[in-house]
Structure formats: structure tokens, C-alpha cells
Amino acid sequence: MSSPDSPDQIRWIAHELVVLPGFRNAYVQIIMTRGRPPIGSRDIRLCKNRFQAFSMPYMWVAPPEVQARGMSLHTSKRVRVPPQSVDPLVKHYHWLDFQMGLFEAYDVGAETVILQDLNGYVTEGPGFNIFAEIDGRLVTPQQGVLDGMTRRTTFELCRDLGIEVVEGKYTPEQLRSANEVFLTSTAGGIIPVTRVDNCIIADGTPGTKTVCLHTEYWKRRAAGWHAEPVIYRQAIKGVEK
Amino acid sequence: MSSPDSPDQIRWIAHELVVLPGFRNAYVQIIMTRGRPPIGSRDIRLCKNRFQAFSMPYMWVAPPEVQARGMSLHTSKRVRVPPQSVDPLVKHYHWLDFQMGLFEAYDVGAETVILQDLNGYVTEGPGFNIFAEIDGRLVTPQQGVLDGMTRRTTFELCRDLGIEVVEGKYTPEQLRSANEVFLTSTAGGIIPVTRVDNCIIADGTPGTKTVCLHTEYWKRRAAGWHAEPVIYRQAIKGVEK
């Protein structure tokens, strides 16, 4: 897809989306859409690609009170759309697999879901990557998942904090007996998981490394880490709310 | 999903979509959408399901002049989203696999695309099923595909015309050396294919069974087969265009 807006324009739009509503704590999303072909045609080469962006008060995958106790996770037998079908490195909302998995999760009283790959290994959930402490080190699935921004940030934090972390693979069964589990997402940072299926993880409270990473993440974020300052304009008289 | 409109209401809406514009040859589509959850939530149980429908002049997957010579088909190595991820019997537009496959097809000069399954067998294309004459009988993929209306109609026609047809499986290689190939879709009926990848099918013109089925299909459709008559109202004076 080709964007009608340049990277510089997109940067400006993202800033204006925070400045104009006066948000001090915002969630900004930028999206490219294929657009649609002329009516009666299915030739997607004729689509006019569009750029869209929106901002809203910061959105949490899980509210802070749920994060404090840790989320409950359902491991679905449903298979994440495999790389042979759609490249998982492209961020998109082609989420029918996740959505059906979420219904399964809700049906069994869990708050969110993780899908498996064709070989039965854990992959990712709707909008997040997963990390688990297995045999003394943090492991996150290596293949068939989005290379999420907060996943990368977690690797960076682990390096700085001297926490061992590797890409690897594990089954839902191994996940259920992990010492710690957390999710990563730009819509929530580092999110503790304290229940997987019917298994309580460790003592049922967020794990030591999880809390350490979570605290460091927000401490750094508050200090402007991986951030770009927004320049708020003075309100224009008469437009001021 | 639950529809806000009953089946009787949907039937009425479908008819009105033809009556009101005065279409004599229309394409009507009815769609259920999940709707969206409240802003800031990803809980899809909170979505308000919606019913949508539209009509337009009859849309062809391939225009009649292309059908007359037969379409050219690209067999992609891309895998159709497998049943383990999303039920192929549910008609939907979760089509990122098809869309990427279409770009491949256009890049190699083909008009449309067919995807394979995880075992390398032919599945279906964007909005159509496929039939091929292999070893003297028509074969259509058995699994991992939509049980399309026109696919069913083709079975009915074959039975009436004494043409042997079975569900089975075949590879792209077998498809390239088939005696006849055609696609089935409500947006086009029975559509001949005369080229698969770089292979001309038989003598390069639509096959005998294909033409027979195509002719019978439209003959019956014109006679009201599998149809429900639309009652056109007299135009209201002053509203008449």
C-alpha cells in the first residue's frame, strides 16, 4: 500500500491528534487501509489506499485494577492464522481467529485468549505477545507472531536489567506450569497473567520479574523514554472549551 | 450473531432493494456484521450486531466477454486460512489470504487466483468454488472450502444432466492437466477457465461439460429456477424517474 501522507505528515498528524483534544495521556493509532475497489469490481489494484488515524484517552488492554491482580488467560486449541496464509509480521486486524477465540475465553470465564500454531505451540493473543518464565528464564514464542513494539521493548528492558530472555517455543501445558506469565502490548505495557486455564500461576500474584519489568517500563515511560514530546499550544481565545 | 431483523423482514428488505431502484437484473447481498464494541473496549460480546443489505446491477466475477473465452487462473502456493483457524463453511470476508493471492495473480498476468491447503491440494478462490474434469469426471475440493450455493446448484445440474461429479482432492499440477476447469459463484454462475498458470486447458476454449452446465444454468435461471418473483409496483407519479 502507498500512503497519501509522507512520514513527516503522519508524524504531524499524530501530534495534532494529541494537541487538539488536549490529551495528556492518549492512545494514538495510525492505520493504512487498502480502500475499496470501484463498485462492481473486485480488482484490489484499483483501490485508493487511505491513511487514517485517531486518538482517544489511553486505552488499556486490561484496566489497572485487573493488571494489579493479573489477568486470566484461556489457551485455545484454535490455530492462529499461519504464516503460510498471512504474514504475521504485518500488523493488521484480520482477526476472525482471535475473535472466535475470545468468545471461547469468555465462555470459560477467562479474560483473554492465546492461540496455538499448527504444531500445538503457543503463539500470541489479540493485540499482544506473551512471555513466560520457564526453567528459570523468560521465553517468548519465536515464530508465527507479530514482532510487537512492546515485545522488542521488553527485550531491551531485560538486557538493561540483567534478566535472561530468549525466543523459543512452549506448549499450553508448559505455560500452565510456568513460574511467571505476562503479556506485552502498546495498549497496556507489561501485563501480568496469574491464571492460565484452570491453573493458578505460582502463588497467584504477579511474578517478581513481571513486576520488576512493569515498574521499570512505566518509570521510564514517565521519564519520556521512547517518547517524543508533544508541544501543546496555548488555547485560542473563543475556541477554548 | 443475532440479527435485529427476522427472516421475513430480511426477505422483504431483499425484495424492496430490487423493487425500489427498479432493477430487472440485480445483485443483492445480505450481510450480518458483528458491529463494534464500545470505544476503549475490546469485548466483542458488547458489540451490537447489525444487518446490512445492498443491491446493484448484476455483478459478474468475470464479464460475459471474459467468460466466453474463459478465465486465466493462477494457482498460488499461499495457503487458504485453514479450518483449524476459521470455519470455511461460514461465508465471510476475512480475505487477506485471498487478497494477497490476487496480487500474485495480477503480477503474473492471471485474472484470478486459487489457494491451496496445508497439504498442497487445491481449495477455492475469492468468492468462488472450483470444478475440474479429471480422469473423465468432474471433481470439486471436498474440504476446507465454502459449501457455496452455486457449488450445490452445480451438483443438482450434474445430476439432472447425467454428468458424473464427485467431491475429492487434486493438486495444482493435476488441475493444470485437467480436461476442463470452471468456477462457480452466485456472482457469475458457471465460469469457464481456459488457462491455469502457464498451461492452456485442453484446446483453450471452454470445455463441453462446462458449456453444457453454463447454458443449462442460465436457461433455468431465466425460467425462474431457484428464484422468487419480484412484484414491481407501479411507479408513483412525480417520483418516477
Same domain (yes/no): A169, A195: yes
Same domain (yes/no): A46, A156: no
3-state secondary structure (DSSP) of residue B136: coil
Q: Give the amino acid at A22.
A: G
- All three cell numbers of A83: 504464516
> Do the domain assignments include residue A237?
no
> Do the domain assignments include residue A195?
yes
Torsion of CA B196, B199, B203, B208, to 10 degrees: -30
Same domain (yes/no): B29, B98: no
Of the candidates B56, B85, B99, the beta carbon closest to that of A80 is on B85
Same domain (yes/no): A159, A92: yes
pLDDT at B240 over 50: no
In this structure, are residues A77 and A202 in contact, taking their beta carbons and an 8 Å threshold?
Answer: no
> Do the domain assignments include residue B21?
yes
The pLDDT score that the predictor gives to residue A235 is 55
What is the tens place of the pLDDT at every residue in A207-234? 999 999 999 999 999 999 999 999 998 6
Q: Which pTM value belongs to this model?
A: 0.91
Q: How far apart are CA B235 and CA B241, in angstroms?
A: 9
The pLDDT score that the predictor gives to residue A60 is 79
What is the tens place of the pLDDT at every residue in A77-118? 999 999 999 999 999 989 999 999 999 999 999 999 999 999
Same domain (yes/no): B33, B87: no
Of chain B, the percentage scoring pLDDT greater than 70 comes to 96
Same domain (yes/no): A85, A43: no
List A residues 91-150 in contact with B (Cβ-Cβ < 8 A). Answer: 92, 94, 96-97, 99-100, 102-103, 106, 118, 126-127
Same domain (yes/no): A74, A159: yes
Do the chains contact at A92 and B94, CB–CB below 8 Å?
no
Q: Give the amino acid at A14.
A: A
> Do the domain assignments include residue A240?
no
The answer to whether A42 faces chain B, any CB pair under 8 Å, is yes
CATH classification at residue A98? 3.20.10.10
Question: Do the bridges between strand A165-168 and strand A137-141 make them parallel or antiparallel, or are there none, so unpaired?
Answer: parallel
Same domain (yes/no): B94, B174: yes
Of chain A, the percentage scoring pLDDT greater than 90 comes to 85
Same domain (yes/no): B124, B206: yes
Same domain (yes/no): B68, B120: yes
User: How many other C-beta atoms can be found within 10 angstroms of the C-beta atom of residue B130?
Assistant: 26
Spans of chain A below 70 pLDDT: 40, 234-241
B21–chain A nearest CA distance, Å: 16
> Do the domain assignments include residue B163?
yes
Same domain (yes/no): B33, B127: no
Do the chains contact at B85 and A86, CB–CB below 8 Å?
no
For A44, which DSSP code?
A: G
Could you tell me the residue range of the domain that residue A16 belongs to?
A: 7-57
pLDDT at B235 over 80: no
What is the tens place of the pLDDT at every residue in B151-190? 999 999 999 999 999 999 999 999 999 999 999 998 889 9
> Do the domain assignments include residue B26?
yes
Do the chains contact at B84 and A96, CB–CB below 8 Å?
no
The answer to whether A80 faces chain B, any CB pair under 8 Å, is yes
Do the chains contact at A92 and B96, CB–CB below 8 Å?
yes
Which residue, chain included where needed, has cell 473465452? B69
Please report, for chain B, how many H helices and E strands are present, in that order. 6, 10
Report the pLDDT averaged over residues B195-216.
97
Q: Is the dihedral of CA B3, A44, B131, B77 positive or negative?
A: negative
The partner residues of B11 in beta bridges, in order of sequence, read none
Chain B contact set for A80 (CB, 8 A): 85
Same domain (yes/no): B149, B80: yes
Q: How far apart are CA A188 and CA A128, in angstroms?
A: 9
In this structure, are residues B162 and B191 in contact, taking their beta carbons and an 8 Å threshold?
Answer: no
Q: How many domains, chain A?
A: 2
The pLDDT score that the predictor gives to residue A241 is 42
Q: How far apart are CA A59 and CA A27, in angstroms?
A: 6
